[in-house]
């Protein structure tokens, strides 16, 4: 049994990590930390966990932290992660970092979109934790930069097309819609029930959302060319789920549904958590809810020569906590699906 600690357990990603890990057969959840709720049982902060995770929230010293476990999930804001992760790595610990701090390979790009980076030397060590692209590197890594939620949905949706050269990369437009849990559990007026329910809006429009460089980095690597995309995030009145509708111009030779479907089915044939829908089916967030699945389908618009890719995940599972556990499973030699077998819940 591997000893595991969640640093930053009081956010929505933290509670989801606890929910998944409490049923994981190969690990022992040893500690959950939260400055805000230190001394309080996590199951009082999140009463759904009563009887499942009855640990107290702690605010430990680094030494206590290091004594607690061999693998750490750091579910803290960016900037905080940048300072914490190196300390854990220096103590020889495995780290799966759910912040953005180690996702961008080029420190200049990171510093342009976020702020100055205090531990840029770890950027090379970190592996971008998208198992469908980097499984073997993940297996031997000790530091995982767990992908962002929007990037996961978009990259998985486009990877087969970009690898095959099926689309013109400069025409990519990603119109993404996310549930409100993506905004986190902080007390802000814009996240109040009455502000979000029965409504819909875009935000960070025009290439200003910080997931943009992360998406572009991975798409550029896939097509071996430096690309820019248009990415528009929207806020859905749902708790969980992202659906990305991605547009691109098809290249000559890739205008048959069967060929495109083949690209998807081939690339993801053995992936436990990617479900390519049969032609004619479309995904919906409610069919991946609570699970680690990414459901993907596409449609060709013959009238305009475009492909429309639809890719959906549960933003706090495959888009955060579930993918983190999948990475842990790969790093530690567990069954890749361990702890992640839950079927999506519907209704």
Q: Which is nearer to a second copy, 147 or 182 (CB)?
A: 182
Could you tell me which of 287, 273, 289 has the C-alpha nearest to residue 324? 273
Q: Which is nearer to a second copy, 141 or 323 (CB)?
A: 323
Strands 127-128 and 94-97: unpaired
Q: At what angle do helices 211-223 and 149-164 cross, to 10 degrees?
A: 20
Please provide the DSSP assignment of 129-155 as one string: --HHHHHHHHHT-SEEEPPPHHHHHHH
All residues at 6 or more sequence positions from 277 whose CB lies less than 8 Å from its CB, including other chains: 283, 295, 296, 297
Q: Which of 66, 149, 223, 294 is flagged as catalytic?
A: 149
Question: Exposed/middle/buried for 51, CB within 10 Å: 0-12, 13-18, 19+?
Answer: exposed
Give the shortest CB-181-to-a second copy separation in angstroms: 5
Q: Which is nearer to a second copy, 129 or 169 (CB)?
A: 169
List, in sequence order, every beta strand (DSSP E) within 65-172: 71-74, 94-97, 127-128, 143-145
Q: Which is nearer to a second copy, 23 or 115 (CB)?
A: 23
3-state class (DSSP) for residue 321: helix
Give the shortest CB-193-to-a second copy separation in angstroms: 4
CB atoms within 10 A of CB 82: 24
161: DSSP letter: H
State how far Cα 219 lies from the chain centre: 15
Give the shortest CB-52-to-a second copy separation in angstroms: 4
Q: Which two tokens stand for residue 317?
A: 């599972």
Q: Which is nearer to a second copy, 129 or 283 (CB)?
A: 283
3-state class (DSSP) for residue 32: strand
Q: Are 108 and 43 in contact (CB under 8 A)?
A: no
149 classed as catalytic? yes
d(CA 26, CA 50): 21
Give the shortest CB-179-to-a second copy separation in angstroms: 8
Give the shortest CB-6-to-a second copy separation in angstroms: 14
Give the shortest CB-1-to-a second copy separation in angstroms: 17
Q: Which is nearer to a second copy, 90 or 256 (CB)?
A: 256
Catalytic annotation, residues: 149
């Amino acid at each position: 049994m591997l000893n595991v600690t969640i640093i930053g357990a009081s956010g929505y990603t933290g509670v989801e990590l606890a929910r998944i890990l409490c049923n994981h057969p190969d690990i022992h959840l040893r500690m959950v930390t939260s400055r805000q709720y230190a001394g309080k049982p996590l199951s009082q902060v999140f009463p759904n966990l009563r009887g499942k995770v009855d640990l107290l929230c702690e605010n430990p010293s680094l030494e206590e932290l290091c004594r607690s476990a061999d693998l750490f999930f750091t579910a803290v804001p960016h900037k905080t992660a940048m300072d914490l992760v190196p300390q854990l790595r220096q103590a020889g610990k495995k780290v799966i970092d759910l912040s953005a701090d180690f996702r961008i390979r080029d420190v200049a790009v990171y510093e342009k979109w976020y702020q100055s980076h205090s531990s840029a030397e770890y950027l090379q060590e970190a592996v971008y934790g998208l198992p469908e692209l980097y499984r073997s590197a993940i297996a031997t890594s000790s530091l995982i930069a767990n992908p962002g939620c929007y990037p996961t949905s978009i990259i998985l949706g486009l990877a087969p097309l970009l690898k095959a050269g099926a689309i013109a990369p400069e025409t990519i437009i990603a119109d993404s819609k996310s549930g409100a849990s993506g905004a986190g559990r902080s007390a802000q007026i814009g996240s109040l029930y009455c502000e979000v329910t029965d409504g819909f809006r875009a935000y960070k429009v025009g290439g200003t959302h910080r997931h943009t460089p992360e998406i572009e980095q991975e798409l550029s690597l896939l097509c071996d060319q430096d690309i820019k995309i248009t990415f528009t995030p929207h806020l859905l009145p749902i708790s969980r789920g992202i659906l990305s509708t991605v547009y691109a111009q098809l290249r000559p030779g890739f205008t048959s549904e069967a060929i495109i479907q083949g690209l998807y089915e081939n690339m993801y044939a053995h992936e436990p958590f990617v479900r390519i829908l049969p032609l004619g089916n479309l995904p919906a967030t409610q069919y991946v809810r609570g699970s680690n699945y990414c459901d993907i389908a596409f449609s060709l618009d013959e009238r305009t020569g475009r492909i429309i890719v639809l890719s959906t995940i549960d933003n706090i599972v495959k888009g955060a906590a579930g993918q983190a556990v999948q990475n842990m499973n790969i790093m530690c030699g567990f069954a890749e699906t361990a702890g992640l077998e839950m079927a999506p819940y519907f209704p």
